[in-house]
Each structure stands twice: as structure tokens, then as C-alpha cells.
Amino acid sequence: MLTYKAPVADINFLLKDVFGYYSHYQKFPEFEEATPDLVDAIFQECAKFCENELLPLYQSGDKEGCQFDNGVVTTPKGFKEAYQQYVEGGWQSLSHPVEHGGQGLPPSLGMVKSEMMGTANWSWAMYPGLSHGAMNTVETHGTKEQKELYLTRLTEGTWTGTMCLTEPQCGTDLGQVKTKAIPNGDGTYNITGTKIFISAGEHDLTENIIHIVLARLPDAPAGTRGISLFIVPKIQTDQQGNLGEANNVTCGSIEDKMGIKASATAVLNFDNAKGVLIGPENKGLECMFTFMNTARIGTALQGVCSAELAYQNSLIYAKERLSMRSLTGKKNPEQVADPIIVHPDVRKMLMTQKAISEGGRAMIYYAAKLVDEIEMAKTQEEREQADERLGFITPILKAFLTELGLESANHGLQIFGGHGYIKEWGMEQIVRDARISTLYEGTTGIQALDLLGRKILLTRGKSLNNFTKEVLLFCKDKSVLSKNPHKRQMNKFIWPLSKAVANWQQYSLRIALKAKKNRDIVGSASVDYLMYSGYIVMGYFWAQMAQSAYEKLATDVENRDFYRAKIKTAEFYFNRMLPRTKSHAKTMMEDPKTLMQLDQELLSFL
């Protein structure tokens, strides 16, 4: 049976001490209610719900899975009740605008909520989670009527939403979408086609499901420029939302998957299903991608959730399980053996997990602040600036954190030894559940192309420069003694970080020059480049956390142990994880030749 306690101390440290979230909230009158007291109360309630309601359904949900019977999907026992509690608690509306029934709290708080819920039960959290994409789409691109009809109910949580992109022949390459939309002349369209991998595409949690569907109008241009976006409800309604006839959307089956088994992944057959256009004709991809960054950060979060859940449980086990003696002498002489936490390699795995979950959380909260800023921007310029920063770090967060979340989950399993492989303990489930995260919302390879191709080369390094400027400013600031009484202690972080950033800029430039001669280097360097970048970005946040911890050590005597632990974890990170950049740096600079020179036909001789 797995354990989960919401890491409220760490969350508060980030919000208050590292990122100054409360002064950030005060900048926006809309967020004036987000005071420390209210937020604390919310976190307490949220933690209780996650620990008491969601976590107990985590393993049982996996065991039962979703049941499919003739188009009807039944979620595992307890899922529906938990969802009702969630709706009654107003959790879905937490960070959505007041005018459609939301509570108007900042998106960043929604991210903290999602983290807690996602850690306690990722599969369950996907049902309300998927709604956010639909809500954002309707809010930004919908008409007044569409908002009144759909958005209010999605915000309440009485209906959920989906995003229907993938088809059997295409996932990443959406230009291949074949689903058709034929206008009926009355403002409605008949949608026909098959969508697959639709998370929360069918379930028994709510009375209706609102599908946001990519489809082609007649005579639309080929490829990505001919795709429009439609709202297609599972059950047709009148404008007041009264349920009418079922629409012609049927769930053909649900997938039997490696993990996230309690999350229904539907095949949806649209057979002249009634829908309405949302956003301009043929601009469906642009509309859908308005929220690509937030959706991807929502998936990056899974890396932190997997890492945290695995860490908490392997830590408990490592303190309890007795095996062998410490190489430096018995630590537990009255017992038959020492707890495995005394063994340096077990320690290394635990510290790696800790560094991933805390470092990853910092990266997510940094991004969440940018999401607040985008949402609340007063000017187009402000919005664009924040959006550019968010766009730059999004692929890094998505790919790097999900890869590291999977690593942490695997360390967790490994710490349990053979027991980690047995379902009962729950550790293998974390690995199976985490494994999807490097695939959906754009694979690691796709994120890496986005980073190197679009965010670096296409902007001629501008986004990178903006980010590195911020890091170097931090480094400069913290290494000036008059400004920073902790300068001497911070040097161990500031020096390697400054050096890493300088290398990052240089390597990026060199790759850009090489790419002019051979485009294949963009693909051959990309994943190494992304992971390389990720370790530096995480290093920046570890340095920030260390700085804040040094500052608090002096004033917050009660919690000194917390700050000391933070600093020592930062030391671990710089000592043991940042050096992983070395191999990535070496291989990303290599010529693509050794990848590409072998003819396809010569790849096997069977």
C-alpha cells in the first residue's frame, strides 16, 4: 500500500521564499483574494482530499481498470464518488474566471492543486485534467453562446471535456487528419471520422462529455492549413443545457494499456455527429495550440508527480528494510542488519529522486508564474514577453521532467529490489503510469525538435539569450558580496552554473552554424541538446533554492533543518547530476553521419 503526504513545506518554500508568489499575486487585483491564509486553507483541504480520497483509489484503480461494455465505460470503484466530492468542493473551478462560475484564483494555484491530485492518483486526475484544455479553448475561441452553454458546466465540473486530435494514421503529424465536417446549412456540421487515444473520451463520471474535435471542412486545403475545430457534445442539448438525444459519437473500445489503466483511453467513432465550429475556419490547429504550452506543462507535471510518489515510498522502505552492513561499520548493531539507506548507492538513488522531485517542482512553479502573467497581461507586449519565455522552457520541462520522472520511478522500483517488481507494493505501477508521460502531448523527440528547431534556431537564439540573461543576472547578483552575505557559500553553485550557461550559449551557436550546412544535425543533436539544457535549467533552480535557503537559515530558526537539507540537496545536484551534461555535450556535437550513413535496408540481416 503506497503512502502520500502532500509536500506542503516544500510547496510553501517555493511559493513564498523562492518565487515571491504573494507579491506576484498582489500585482494583479483579480488575485487579491490569494492571500497566504486562504491559500494555506486551500492546500490543507486539497491535501486531505488527495491523501484520504484519491490515494486509496490509486492501486485499486489500476487493478480494476476501466470496463468497456458495448460502448459504455465504467470507471473503477470509487472514482465516481471521488469525482462528485471534487465537484462539490469546487475544485474544478478553482482557477477559472468568475464570470463563468469560476473562483478566479490564479492559474498557478491550479497547478499546485493538480500536482497534489496528480501525485495521489494520476489516472483519476486525468478526467478533470482533460477538461481544462476544452475549457481554455471555449473560453478563448468560443462565442458567447458557446461559453454560456459549455463553459459554465465544464467549470462546475458537471460535464467534462476532451481534445480529439489523434487518428489511427497520425498523432504527431496532424496534417494527415482525415475526419470530415460537412456543413448542414444551419450553423451545425456533421462530423465523421475516427479519433483514437482520447483520454477521458468516455466515462461514467458526468452526464455529458464535450469533445473538441479537429476535422476538415469540404474543400479545405490539404495538410495542417485545412483543419478546423469543432465542439461535439456526447449528448445533444438545447441552449439551456437540457440533455436531449445522444449524438452520433460512440466509443468503439478503450485501449488496454501498460499503465494509467484507470484512465479511459477511448476510440471514438464520429458518424455524422452534430457539432459546431469554434474559432475561424481552417485555423483549428492554431486555436488548439493556443494552449499547447499549458497542456505540455500539465504533462511535465506528471514527471514531478511520479518522482514525488516514488521518492516518498522508497524513502520509507529504505529506512525499514534491513540488508547487509554499511561498508564503514555497523550502523544498527542491535539488529540483524543495517537499513539499506546506509548504502551509498541506495542513498544516491534516493538523493537523485529528491533532487528530481524538488528541482522539478521548482521548474513547474516558475512556469506557472509565467502562465499567471500571460493570463493577466495588461498589454500585448507583456503577454508576448511572458509567452516567449514560457514557450522556450515548455519543451524542456515537458521532455526533461517526464524523462527524469520515469528515472525516479525506476529508482523507486529498484530500491525495493525484487519486491519493487510485485504489484502489491505499488512501485511498479508508478513506473508503468509514468511511462506514458514521455509519449503523449508530444514525445521527447518532438519536444526536442521544438526546442532546437523552433525555439533556438528559428528565433536565432533570442529566447535562449533572454533566459540565460536571467540566469547570469542571478549569478552576478549572488556573487557580489555587498549584495549577498552568502556569496562565499553560493560560489560552489554560482561558478559551475555560470560556466554551464556560457557553454550552453556556445554550443547552441555552434549547432546553429552546423545546421546551416546539414539540417539533419537538428534531429541528431536535439534530444541530447534538450537533456543538456534541462540539467542546466534545473541547476539554475537548485541554485536559487540554495540561495533562498541560506537567507532563511538566518531568520527562520525553527525550520533550519529544512533549509540545511535543501542546501545539501543542491550540493548533491551540482555534484552528481549536473555532470550528466558532459556526455550529452559530447554526443550532441557529433556529425549526424554515424546515425544516417547506414542504408535502411542494411539495418538487419535476418
Active site residue ranges: 441
> Closest distance between a second copy and the C-beta of residue 337, in Å?
6
Q: How far is the CB of 550 from a second copy (least distance, A)?
A: 16
144 vs 99, 101, 232, 240, CA distance in Å? 12, 14, 17, 13
Candidates 137-145, 205-213, 392-400, 581-589; binding stretch for a second copy (CB under 8 A) = 581-589
Q: Map grid coordinates 548533491 to a residue.
A: 572
Of 81 and 345, nearer to a second copy (C-beta) is 345
SS (H, E, C) 49-117: HHHHHHCHHHHHHHHHCCEEECCEEECCCCHHHHHHHHHHCCCCCCCCCHHHCCCCCCHHHHHHHHHHH
> Interface with a second copy includes 423 (CB under 8 A)?
yes
Of 402, 529, 390, 385, residue with least CA distance to 457: 529
- Could you please report the per-residue DSSP string of 547-589? HHHHHHHHH-GGGHHHHHHHHHHHHHIIIIIGGGHHHHHHHHT
Q: Beta-carbon neighbour count of residue 564 at 10 Å?
A: 12
Alpha carbon separation from 69 to 17, 252, 268, 296, 302 (Å, rounded): 51, 10, 14, 32, 30
- Altogether, the residues listed in the chain come to a count of 606
383 belongs to the binding site for a second copy (CB under 8 A): no
Cell numbers representing residue 415 in the block: 530500491
> What does the per-residue mask of binding to a second copy show for 234-263, with x meaning CB under 8 A?
---------------------xxxxx----
- Measured CA to CA, the distance from residue 516 to residue 457 in angstroms comes to 10
Interacting residues with a second copy between 148 and 177 (CB under 8 A): 166, 169-173, 175-176
Residues 66-125 that bind a second copy (CB under 8 A): none
Query: Binding to a second copy (CB under 8 A): which residues in 2-61?
Result: 5-10
Residue 201, all three cell numbers: 473520451
DSSP letter assigned to residue 157: T
Contacts of 422 (CB under 8 A, 6+ apart): 428
Identity of the residue, 73 or 386, whose beta carbon is nearer to a second copy in the bound complex: 73
Q: Minimum distance from CB of 275 to a second copy (Å)? A: 24
Minimal distance, residue 583 CB to a second copy, in Å: 4
Residue 499: phi and psi, rounded to 5, are -65, -45
Minimum Å distance from CB 540 to a second copy?
A: 19
Nearer to a second copy, 421 or 495 (CB): 421
Sole binder of a second copy in the list 79, 150, 197, 493 (CB under 8 A)? 197
Chain positions 291 to 330 lying near a second copy, rule: CB under 8 A, are: 311-312, 315, 319, 322-324, 327-328
Taking CB under 8 A as the rule, does residue 561 contact a second copy? yes
For a second copy, the closer of residues 324 and 502 by Cβ is 324
Of 228, 524, 544, 548, which one interacts with a second copy (CB under 8 A)?
A: 524
Binding a second copy by CB under 8 A: which of 182, 220, 235, 337?
337
* Closer Cβ to a second copy, 140 or 518, answer by number: 518
